[in-house]
A = this chain, B = another copy of it.
Amino acid sequence: MALLLDELRSADGAAEAGAQAWRLAEAMYPLCRSLTGAGVRATLDLIETQGGLPLQRTEVPSGTPVHDWEVPLEWNVRDAWIADAAGRRVVDFRAHNLHLMSYSVPVRRQMTLEELQPHLHSLPDRPDDIPYRTSYYREHWAFCLRHRDRERLGPGPYEVVVDSTLAPGHLTLAEFVVPGQSDDEILVHTHVCHPSLANDNLAGIAVAVELARALGRSRPRHTWRFIFAPGTIGSLTWLALRPQVLPRVRAGLVLGLLGDGAPLQYKRSRRGDTLTDRAAAHVLAGIEGARLLDFEPYGYDERQYGSPGFDLPVGRLTRSVNGGYPEYHCSADDMTLLRPQALAGALQALARLAQVLDGNRRLLNLSPFGEPRLGRRGLYRSTGGHAPGAFEHALLWVLSQSDGAHDLLAIAERARLPFEAIEAAAEALQQAGLLRDLAPDEPAPAFTIPGSQTPKGTPT
């Protein structure tokens, strides 16, 4: 059996992919991303050019209704600063794009420090870091700065300039689809709206790109769809844009925050027992320190996929969680936080997870009355008297449980064997004609004991 992403399963292959992901993140880091605008488009360009992943982009006009929301105006920034009387920029968007609150409306004004204070954000607890703030849905402007710098500001007056535009335009999202043998889909989503923040979420973007490229070279059973979109409004827009895809979604993952030193953490989908949840539990059980988290309705875009009207089987894979590391949402979340080997480890886990999500299925035992004779089919040792080996165990488990009520993952869990071993046994049995695939919604036929075949025994 050829495994789907064999290259990413090995330490060497994963290390190479991790290094490549790190370099892509580094290239994307300086861009000023937001919900909309040029920064998002430039990021998608880099994914295509440096990342080697061809994207299908969609531009959705401002004002388009998407369920309870609508696509916002497009925001772009040329420049922004606060300058003192000497014309020296004391806060400068060009130095760090976090200095300007995202979606700040244009302003050009002389102000005293006192007038300016309500428009300043800083972190007294982290005086050397610039906080990340947004005001997407209320027209407003503000600057973010290091608390240490803020305390040094004199009474002014200051020249305050936000040279931005907030105007009808588009929201940009992108997809990469790997067609599978089946139309049923597996989603991978990552948010592309954060400016110069490395772990949140250049890490998620870069890992998704590597995974997508590797899957693009393989022949999966399911159709895999990668979605790159701004947070919240991006997933909402995608959900509104692709209603025909939703009933075919079998599993899905939101990726983010995969580059720091924390162990992997999987957050369950809303239902808590979907294929994605079960597969993640199976794979993470084998990874040192990895943890499973219950669903909760805040976090990243799993909130939208898991809203009650959609209720899709979409979980989330991160290392640290949102709000769960000291550098979260401030300028300390930079490229020094991102470790190539953390990205590599995430890719290795995702390769195993992809195998389970893609390969899991139900099979039907075609010879269910007693064990079939495996020996004469070349699947069992001929000399009896000693214990069967691991492959024989896997064969027996697959035969025992393939009644339509158990998929391969359930069999692997009950047998306490790796999914890959169970899947390999299933393929051997299928080749021997002892199993057939059951379609996802196909009811399992009841086994009827063939009474008419009763042999004529001779009572004595």
Hey, which bits of chain A sit against chain B, CB under 8 A? 56-61, 64-69, 71, 101, 131-138, 140, 142, 170, 232, 235-237, 239-241, 243-244, 246, 270, 296-298, 303-304, 306-311, 323, 329, 365, 367-373, 375-376, 382-388, 392-393, 396-397, 399-403, 415, 447, 449-451, 453-460
Report chain B residues within 8 Å CB of A133: 383-385
Q: Which residue of B lies closest to A380 (CB)?
A: B137
* In contact, B58 and A369 (Cβ under 8 angstroms): no
* In contact, B58 and A384 (Cβ under 8 angstroms): no
Complex Cα gap A142–B384 (Å): 12
Report chain B residues within 8 Å CB of A387: 323
Nearest-neighbour CB distance to chain B for A64, whole angstroms, equals: 4
Q: Which residue of B lies closest to A241 (CB)?
A: B457
Report chain B residues within 8 Å CB of A392: 298
Complex Cα gap A455–B134 (Å): 26
Given known contacts A298-B396, A375-B137, A449-B309, is B385 in contact with A131 (CB within 8 Å)?
yes
Q: Which residue of B lies closest to A365 (CB)?
A: B308
Identify 19 residue pairs between A and B in the complex whose beta-carbon atoms are under 8 Å apart, listed by A's number. Answer: A59-B457, A59-B460, A60-B457, A64-B456, A64-B457, A68-B369, A68-B371, A170-B458, A235-B370, A236-B370, A237-B457, A239-B370, A297-B371, A297-B400, A298-B392, A307-B368, A308-B365, A308-B399, A308-B401
How many of these chains are in the complex? 3
Report chain B residues within 8 Å CB of A303: 371, 396
Complex Cα gap A36–B389 (Å): 27
* In contact, A243 and B450 (Cβ under 8 angstroms): yes
Apart from A133-B384, A329-B386, what are 4 other A-B pairs with CB-CB below 8 Å? A59-B460, A68-B373, A297-B396, A309-B365
* In contact, B455 and A60 (Cβ under 8 angstroms): yes
Nearest-neighbour CB distance to chain B for A312, whole angstroms, equals: 10
Q: Which residue of B lies closest to A403 (CB)?
A: B308
Complex Cα gap A206–B449 (Å): 32
Complex Cα gap A431–B352 (Å): 47
* In contact, B393 and A60 (Cβ under 8 angstroms): no
Report chain B residues within 8 Å CB of A232: 371
Given known contacts A236-B370, A457-B241, is B400 in contact with A308 (CB within 8 Å)?
yes
Report chain B residues within 8 Å CB of A308: 365, 368, 399-403, 447
Given known contacts A246-B449, A385-B133, A386-B329, is B373 in contact with A455 (CB within 8 Å)?
no
The 8 closest A-B pairs by CB, nearest first: A309-B368, A243-B451, A297-B400, A309-B369, A138-B382, A58-B457, A297-B396, A309-B447
Residue from A57, A298, A329, A392 whose CB has the most chain B CB atoms within 10 Å: A298
* In contact, A384 and B136 (Cβ under 8 angstroms): yes
Report chain B residues within 8 Å CB of A304: 370-371
Complex Cα gap A415–B241 (Å): 31
